[in-house]
Amino acid sequence: MNTGLNTGMNTAPSTSLASVLGHGSLAILAYAILGVLLLVAGFYVIDLATPGRLSKVIRTDRNPNATLLTASSLAAVGLIVAASIWSSGGALRDGLLATLVFGLVGIAVQTLGMIVFDKIAGISVRELAHEATLQPAAVLLAVTHFVIGLITAVAVI
- Which residues, at least 6 apart from 15, have a Cβ–Cβ distance to it below 8 Å? none
**Cβ pair 134, 64 in contact under 8 A:** yes
- Which residues, at least 6 apart from 77, have a Cβ–Cβ distance to it below 8 Å? 38, 39, 42, 103, 106, 107, 149
pLDDT of 14 reads: 62
Segment among 12-16, 109-113, 141-145 with least mean pLDDT: 12-16
Domain extent listing, the chain: 34-156
As a whole number of angstroms, the distance between CA 113 and CA 49 comes to 12
* pLDDT tens-place string over residues 6-42: 555 555 556 787 777 777 788 889 999 999 999 999 8
Q: In terms of C-beta density within 10 A (0-12 exposed, 13-18 middle, 19 or more buried), how is residue 61 classed?
A: middle
- Please compute the mean of the pLDDT values over residues 67-73 and round it to a whole number: 92
Segment among 23-27, 32-36, 72-76, 144-148 with least mean pLDDT: 23-27
Residue 61 has pLDDT above 80, yes or no: yes
CA 40 vs CA 6, 47, 52, 104, 117: distances in Å: 57, 10, 17, 11, 23
Q: Predicted confidence band at 79 (pLDDT cuts at 50, 70, 90)?
A: very high
Residue 4 has pLDDT above 50, yes or no: no
Q: Predicted confidence band at 3 (pLDDT cuts at 50, 70, 90)?
A: very low
Smallest Cα–Cα separation from 111: which of 81, 148, 85, 139? 148
* pLDDT tens-place string over residues 115-137: 888 888 888 888 888 888 999 99
Instruction: State the chain's mean pLDDT as an integer.
Output: 85
pLDDT of 137 reads: 92
Q: Count Cα atoms within 13 angstroms, Cβ side, for 24.
A: 7
Counts of helices then strands in the chain (DSSP H, E):
6, 0
